[in-house]
């Protein structure tokens, strides 16, 4: 157990609930999304990405031992936030991180029609009225996470290049690494005009708080084999070679679909 009391590994994720009781609750993430069974939310306003074109003043990459996490600092009025779509308020960008596995047939946390992808990126946002991430996790509508799936393509992703440029510095070190700041808009540009699935779930890591409105674009972005190699080179705690949690039971939740 580390000082923050949140030590865990991916060898037996069923054991998480012993130490983190919320991991055993009923509305957990990730899930398998069966596209043909989805209910339609009808016409929602498009999801709106505000301030994503603003480069931060500083950008930091850190190996948490469970993933690599990217954070940024923006001037007061420049911080990126999302609104609209299924959301009732502004949700402020907190961090993004990744989930992957030892080979291309696994890695993503969510599945689509039973299929896994080699990489899933989580863009984590907290509800503005709750003021901080750590306060927001106490509420069922406290967070929204946009989860992006990546599939293998020789071209790879330019947006990932900027992040992976700093990855060797954190692969075997817990020291934060300062990246040359860049804007995050390349990710949301890549998912313009697509369908999204949305449902209510949880953090996919302990303490597994059921505080997340998940927003999952149904298309994929590209990642090259060379880029995947860099993810698989990252040393995770306990010698873990993957950081995806298995899919959890839906337990009667509905998944809605919307188009932006
Ligand atoms: C995670 O640790 O994987 C995580 C968060 C916050 C929201 C969702 C999520 O830290 O999966
Ligand atoms: Zn995650």
The percent of residues in the chain predicted with pLDDT above 90, rounded, is: 86
| Separation of CA 181 and ligand 2 centre (Å) | 22
- Ligand nearest to C-alpha 212: 1
146 lines ligand 1 (CB under 6 A): no
The percent of residues in the chain predicted with pLDDT above 70, rounded, is: 98
Residue closest to 120 by CA, chosen among 36, 212, 217, 25: 217
Of 24-38, 90-104, 136-150, 222-236, the range with the lowest mean pLDDT is: 24-38
User: Which uninterrupted H or E stretch holds 133?
Assistant: helix 133-136
Adjacent-strand bridge partners of 148: 121
On average, the pLDDT of the chain sits at 94
Instruction: Please check whether residue 87 is in contact with residue 225, taking contact to mean a CB–CB distance below 8 angstroms.
Output: no
pLDDT given at position 90: 98
- Mean pLDDT over 1-13 rounds to 75
Coil, strand or helix: which one is 8? Answer: coil
68 lines ligand 1 (CB under 6 A): no
Mutate to test the pocket of ligand 1, among 9, 99, 124 (most ligand atoms within 8 A of CB): 124
pLDDT given at position 1: 43
Q: Which residue has the higher pLDDT, 63 or 35?
A: 63
Q: What is the pLDDT of residues 162-217, one digit of tens each?
A: 999 999 999 999 999 999 999 999 888 888 778 999 999 999 999 999 999 999 99
Residues around ion ligand 2, judged by CB within 5 A, are: 122, 204
Give the confidence band of 2 by pLDDT, cuts at 50, 70, 90.
Answer: very low
pLDDT given at position 3: 44
Q: What is the pLDDT of residues 118-165, one digit of tens each?
A: 999 999 999 999 999 999 999 999 999 999 999 999 988 888 999 999
- Ligand nearest to C-alpha 29: 1
| Separation of CA 175 and ligand 2 centre (Å) | 20
pLDDT given at position 191: 81
204 lines ligand 1 (CB under 6 A): yes
> H helices of 191-235, where?
225-232
Q: What is the pLDDT of residues 216-244, one digit of tens each?
A: 999 999 999 999 999 999 999 999 999 99
Rounded distance between C-alpha atoms, residue 137 and residue 132, angstroms: 9
The ligand 1 atom nearest the CA atom of 29: 11
Q: Whose CA is nearest to atom 7 of ligand 1?
A: 203
203 lines ligand 1 (CB under 6 A): yes
Told to judge if 110 belongs to the known catalytic residues of this protein, a careful annotator would answer no
Prediction ipTM score: 0.96
């Amino acid at each position: 157990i580390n000082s923050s009391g949140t030590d865990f590994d991916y060898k037996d994720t069923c054991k998480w609930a012993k130490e983190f009781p919320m991991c055993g609750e009923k509305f957990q993430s990730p899930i398998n999304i069966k596209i043909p069974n989805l209910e339609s939310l009808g016409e929602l306003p498009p999801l709106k990405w505000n301030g994503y074109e603003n480069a931060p003043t500083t950008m930091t990459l850190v190996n948490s031992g469970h993933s690599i996490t990217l954070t940024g600092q923006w001037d007061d009025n420049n911080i990126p936030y999302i609104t609209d779509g299924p959301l009732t308020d502004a949700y402020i960008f907190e961090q993004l991180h990744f989930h992957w596995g030892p080979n291309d047939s696994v890695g993503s946390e969510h599945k689509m029609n039973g299929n896994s992808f080699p990489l899933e990126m989580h863009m984590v946002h907290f509800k503005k009225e709750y003021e901080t991430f750590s306060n927001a996790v106490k509420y069922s509508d406290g967070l929204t996470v946009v989860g992006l799936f990546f599939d293998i393509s020789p071209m790879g992703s330019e947006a990932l290049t900027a992040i992976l440029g700093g990855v060797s510095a954190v692969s075997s070190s817990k020291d934060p690494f300062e990246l040359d700041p860049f804007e995050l808009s390349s990710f949301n540009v890549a998912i313009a005009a697509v369908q999204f699935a949305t449902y209510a779930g949880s953090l996919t890591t302990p303490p597994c708080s059921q505080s997340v409105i998940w927003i999952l674009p149904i298309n994929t972005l590209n990642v090259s084999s060379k880029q995947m190699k860099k993810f698989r080179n990252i040393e995770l705690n306990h010698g873990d070679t993957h950081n995806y949690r298995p899919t959890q039971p839906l337990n009667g939740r509905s998944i809605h679909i919307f188009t932006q």
